[in-house]
């Protein structure tokens, strides 16, 4: 513990730190519904005072798109150890509040003995409490971690660091000395004050009669308590009279009392001075990292208990730009369904991005057939992979990406003086200015602010540009003609990845009628949009509207139907 404190970490291998990774934008995080995942990782039992700090840290970690395979697999291994050792998780969860408390000060400062004659009582007491908390946390961590053999480098290194910290000379001295220092500081439980009265019983002066290691108790009368009992004729620290009247300056009582107590605190402060190099900063970051990992383990078990698959994904090289997953699903939707007890309704789907089968997908299908949910699931798979966490799928192999760029129709961001198409065009232009081959681009109902004929021509140009770029992408659209043109786009546009067609499938339930299955699979669009069904459900079919108008007597009794 000599020389500045080295911060112990779980999320980063020794000697490795963030290398300027690009961050997920607030807009993309909102499109993907990341808030629901963050809330689940924070946990419902997080103490109110810690919740905000955990949420900020988890958001920062999830939106930092780590591309270093070493860092990702390091975190995965720690999480796997935690999942396999429920007893360790339980012990770490118990020490977590104290561990997080060590990180509360924004900038822990090295302790220095006071240079002024009177020690700061609050400062000494705070420093003593900090060292006691550090001692307690290190002992409990050492007991929990030292009881097992861990496969992950992260837990093995942390176990060794904590053991070395506890075994250091300074720490052993702390274990010996702190109880006595606390006892000294706690020895003053009460102060007896004598109050001198004038002939008219008005207070004239006060004197501290004594200090005691016992609290004042009993049912003595007021005067007896004020005078400190019989036989006390001289105080330990006389107090000055007030010039403007009896006890005209009551602050002096407090001043003298603090001076007297300083005689008790002084030796404690001097003893603490030898531990000036001991800092809680060593463990200041560990609490938040552990909170994230324990939250992730809890979320995984919650999903698995509901019968949903969760796996540790294999990390593929970034430059391969590939991804595959079996039985993937939108974890945000799964969490919402869990709250309603309707997990059986979750439909899983395969995910595939590669040069041969399809690196750019045009996704079509019926309204509310699962297209947006599928697209969001793909984005969340990528975010969780690059945070080093497990992903909602039965099996997965994913290349990291440097950017996740999204365009979802969840907000109207039109600039005054511009129409919706102008705003969409500007947003798409911004996406392509940032996009690289190592990006993941998710476009959901882009160019919906113009006619189908104009949109088709514009969308075709965008899909061609995506093929030329070589990035992984999904383009969700109702333009079935665009999906039918994928062969022509592949033939006419250079690129090292294929454009393919995905369809949100529907089962035939009768002539011209389909039933949503929420299954997404390669194939050609079938033309069903469920628009008539949606109109019927919301009461905006012609029959519904005509009946509404007739009931209000706003239309003639007869007319064309």
Q: Where are the domains of the chain?
A: 26-186+275-293, 190-262, 308-527, 530-561
* C-alpha closest to that of 404 among 75, 30, 95: 30
Half-sphere exposure of 370 (CA within 13 A, CB side): 24
Q: Which CATH superfamily is domain 308-527 in?
A: P-loop containing nucleotide triphosphate hydrolases (3.40.50.300)
Residue/partner pairs of 124-131 with CB below 8 Å, 24 or more apart: 124/185, 124/265, 124/268, 124/269, 124/272, 125/185, 127/272, 128/178, 128/181, 128/182, 128/185, 128/268, 128/272, 130/102, 130/280, 131/174, 131/178, 131/272, 131/275, 131/278
Mean pLDDT of 34-47: 90
Q: Which of 264-273, 376-385, 478-487, 523-532 has the highest mean pLDDT?
A: 376-385
**pTM assigned to the model:** 0.80
Q: Distance between CA 60 and CA 63 in Å, rounded? A: 5
At 322, the pLDDT band (50, 70, 90 cuts) reads: very high
Residue 19 is predicted with a pLDDT of 64
Q: What is the mean pLDDT of residues 61-77?
A: 96
pLDDT for residue 115: 45
Least confident piece of the model among 111-120, 154-163, 333-342 = 111-120
Could you tell me which of 292, 364, 367, 380 has the C-alpha nearest to residue 53? Answer: 292
pLDDT confidence of residue 488: 95
Name the percent of the chain lying above pLDDT 90.
47
- Per-residue pLDDT band for 497 (boundaries 50, 70, 90) equals confident
Written as six digits, the tokens of 387 are 């945070």
| pLDDT for the residue numbered 13 | 93
Task: Determine how many CB atoms are found less than 10 A away from the CB of residue 463.
Answer: 23
Q: Is the pLDDT of residue 512 over 50?
A: no
Report whether pLDDT(57) > 90.
Answer: yes
Mean per-residue pLDDT for 297-311? Answer: 96
pLDDT at residue 233 in the model: 46
pLDDT at residue 247, as a whole number: 43
What integer pLDDT is reported at residue 154 of this predicted model? 96
DSSP state of 330: -
Looking at residue 446, the DSSP 8-state letter turns out to be: T
Under 8 Å between Cβ of 327 and 519: no
Q: Which residues pair with 391 in a beta bridge?
A: 311
Q: Is the pLDDT of residue 417 over 70?
A: no
310 vs 117, residue with greater confidence: 310
Could you identify the residue written with the tokens 């939250």? Answer: 295
Q: What is the pLDDT of residues 154-193, one digit of tens each?
A: 999 999 999 999 998 888 988 898 888 888 777 766 777 7
More confident residue, 272 or 147: 147
Mean pLDDT for all residues in the chain? 81
**Residue 216: its pLDDT value, please?**
67
Burial class (CB in 10 A: 0-12, 13-18, 19+), 19: exposed
């Amino acid at each position: 513990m000599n020389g500045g404190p080295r911060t112990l970490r779980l999320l980063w291998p020794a000697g490795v730190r963030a290398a300027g990774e690009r961050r997920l934008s607030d807009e993309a995080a909102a499109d993907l519904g990341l808030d629901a995942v963050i809330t689940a990782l924070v946990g419902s039992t997080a103490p109110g005072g810690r919740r905000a700090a955990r949420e900020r840290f988890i958001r920062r970690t999830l939106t930092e798109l780590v591309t270093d395979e070493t860092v990702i697999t390091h975190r995965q291994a720690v999480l796997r150890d935690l999942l396999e050792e429920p007893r360790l998780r339980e012990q770490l969860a118990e020490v977590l509040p104290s561990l997080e408390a060590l990180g509360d000060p924004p900038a822990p400062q090295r302790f220095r003995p006071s240079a002024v004659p009177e020690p700061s009582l609050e400062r000494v007491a705070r420093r003593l409490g900090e060292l006691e908390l550090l001692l307690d946390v290190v002992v409990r961590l050492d007991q929990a971690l030292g009881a097992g053999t861990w496969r992950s480098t992260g837990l093995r290194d942390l176990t060794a660091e904590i053991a070395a910290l506890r075994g250091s000379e300074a720490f052993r001295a702390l274990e010996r000395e702190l109880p006595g220092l606390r006892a000294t500081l706690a020895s003053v439980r009460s102060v007896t004050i004598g109050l001198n009265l004038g002939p008219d019983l008005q207070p004239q002066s006060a004197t501290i009669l004594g200090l005691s290691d016992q609290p004042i108790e009993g049912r003595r009368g007021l005067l007896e308590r004020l005078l400190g009992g019989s036989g006390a004729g001289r105080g330990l620290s006389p107090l000055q009279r007030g010039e403007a009247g009896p006890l005209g300056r009551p602050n002096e009582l407090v001043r003298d009392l603090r001076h007297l107590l300083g005689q008790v605190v002084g030796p404690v402060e001097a003893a603490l001075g030898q531990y000036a190099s001991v800092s809680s900063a060593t463990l200041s970051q560990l609490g938040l990292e552990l909170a994230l990992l324990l939250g992730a383990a809890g979320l995984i078990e919650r999903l698995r208990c509901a019968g949903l698959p969760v796996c540790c994904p294999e990390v593929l090289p970034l430059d391969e730009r590939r991804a595959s997953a079996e039985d993937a699903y939108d974890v945000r939707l799964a969490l919402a369904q869990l709250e309603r007890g309707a997990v059986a309704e979750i439909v899983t789907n395969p995910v595939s991005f590669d040069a041969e089968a399809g690196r750019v997908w045009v996704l079509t299908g019926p309204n509310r057939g699962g297209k947006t949910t599928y697209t969001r699931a793909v984005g969340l798979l990528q975010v969780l992979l690059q945070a080093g966490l497990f992903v909602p799928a039965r099996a997965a192999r994913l290349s990291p990406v440097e950017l996740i760029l999204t365009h979802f129709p969840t907000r109207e961001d039109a600039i005054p003086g511009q129409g919706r198409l102008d705003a969409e065009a500007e947003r798409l232009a911004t996406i392509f200015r940032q996009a690289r081959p190592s990006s993941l681009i998710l476009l959901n109902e882009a160019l919906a602010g113009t006619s189908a004929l104009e949109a088709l021509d514009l969308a075709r140009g965008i899909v061609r540009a995506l093929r030329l770029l070589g990035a992984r992408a999904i383009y969700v659209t109702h333009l079935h003609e665009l999906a039918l043109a994928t062969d022509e786009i592949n033939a006419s546009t250079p690129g090292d990845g294929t454009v393919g067609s995905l369809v949100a499938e529907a089962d035939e339930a009768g002539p011209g009628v389909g039933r949503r299955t929420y299954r997404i699979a390669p194939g050609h669009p079938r033309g069903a949009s469920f628009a008539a069904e949606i109109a019927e459900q919301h009461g905006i079919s012609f029959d519904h509207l005509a009946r509404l108008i007739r009931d209000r007597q706003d239309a003639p009794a007869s007319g064309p139907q």
